[in-house]
Structure 1
Amino acid sequence: MEDGRMQRTGWTWTFFRIFLEETNMVVTALTACTILYTRSAAVVHFTVGAVVCSRVVKLMKRCFRQPRPVHPLPGRQKKDFGMPSTHSAVISYYAVYSLLAAAFLPTHLSFEQAEWLRVVAPLIIVPWATTIAISRIWLGHHTVPQVLVGFAHGLVIAPAWFHLWQQYGNTYGSYVERTYMIW
């Protein structure tokens, strides 16, 4: 019985580790599904912000040129630079922007009957984002400072990008949805 429990725990741990390794695919797929489901200009704006956040971090990596930590497993060493962590930057952007959207944006027509999402979505996204950021250290892809700088970058970009939507996108986004997104 003890061996069976160990095997299940090992399988669960392996699945969790693979899930954390593939967060890029998971987050991209969930974002694409959300765009297709809502057909919302606000979600497209949010997604473009995540891409901008990622691209800025990639430029920063070329400036800092700080190597990643040496990975303990052979063949698992990533070849690009590590400072700052792109995963940490983008996932913190997702978490902060989602919190701001839940607090300040009107509920999209796709979710009219689901006001509970304003509370539940951040309760899922924030712990998930924190787990992903910490996993970058645990998986041996980044150092603590690389993750912290990446996380801080997302914390700065998200409110700035959200402010752009509040100032300009809310008005023009509704117009674009009404006029051009006839799906």
Structure 2
Amino acid sequence: QTNFVVTGLSAAFLLYTRSAGVLYFTLGALLCSATVKLIKRAIRQPRPVVEHAAGKRKVSYGMPSTHSATIIYYATYIPLACAKLPIHPSLPANSFVTRVLPVLIAVPYGYVIAASRVWLGHHTWKQVVVGGSYGAALAAVWFELWIRGGHAYGQVLEREANGYIDQIFGRA
């Protein structure tokens, strides 16, 4: 399942970097998913009628696509972060590894996953486009909030959290 892979990679990256920026990014992805689910319940547009394995039909609403919104959030935020944010000290200074490679992975992966929602019969193109548009817009706004002041709070949070972790594990 894509959501387990993406969530697992996000959690691993957060634990590796201990970065407030990565935490903020991840919270944005969770916000994206949660708000799309609320919108989906308000719109109540059904999914396409497709019989899946064993004749089971998925019974839930389809507009907008939560998977598409969240994965396009990633595919939008990651290039913005790679282009505009300083490289976190826990990451390699190699600009290809930190600035280019994440974009080369996230963008095509995001769009293929979004399109697969239609190919697999889970959503219509309209549901995927609306979901993806929502995810892209939220990512742009969320990123803008970070660069317009959120990062200052993040630096304090990160410094305090890392100090606390270092105390626990005896690193000084």
TM-score (norm 2): 0.90
SS in 2 for 1:78: coil
Aligned mate of 1:84, from 42, 64, 83: 64
For residues 150 and 19 of structure 2, the distance between their equivalents in structure 1, rounded to whole angstroms, comes to: 11
Identity across the alignment (%): 52
Using the alignment, how far apart are the partners of 1:175 and 1:122 within structure 2? Answer: 28
TM-score by length of 1: 0.85
Output the CA distance in 1 between the equivalents of 2:55 and 2:91. 45
Cα distance in 2, alignment partners of residues 76 and 34 from structure 1? 36
1:66-85 mapped onto 2 (5 Å cutoff): 66-73=45-52, 74-85=54-65
Which residue of structure 1 lines up, in the alignment, with residue 150 of structure 2? 169
Q: Is the aligned partner of 1:52 residue 2:28?
A: no
Counterpart CA distance in 2 for 1:120 and 1:64 is 37
Partner of 1:135: 116
Residues 115-134 of structure 1: pairs in structure 2 closer than 5 A: 115-116=95-96, 117-134=98-115
| Partner of residue 153, structure 1 | 134
Cα distance, 1:127 vs structure 2: 0.4
Name the counterpart of 2:169.
Answer: none
Q: How many residues align?
A: 162
Map of 1:102 onto structure 2 = 82
Q: 1:120 to 1:68 in 2, by over 3 A?
A: same
For each residue in 1:25-60, what CA deviation from the matched residue of structure 2 results, as whole angstroms up to 9, or x when unmatched? 000000000010000000000001011111111011
Of 41, 47, 59, 1:62 maps to 41
Is contact 2:47-2:62 (8 Å) kept?
Answer: yes
Structure 2 gap ranges (5+): 166-172
Q: CA deviation at 1:75?
A: 4.2
- Residues in 2 aligned to 1:122 and 1:39: alpha-carbon distance in whole angstroms: 21
Unpaired segments of 5 or more residues in structure 1?
1-21
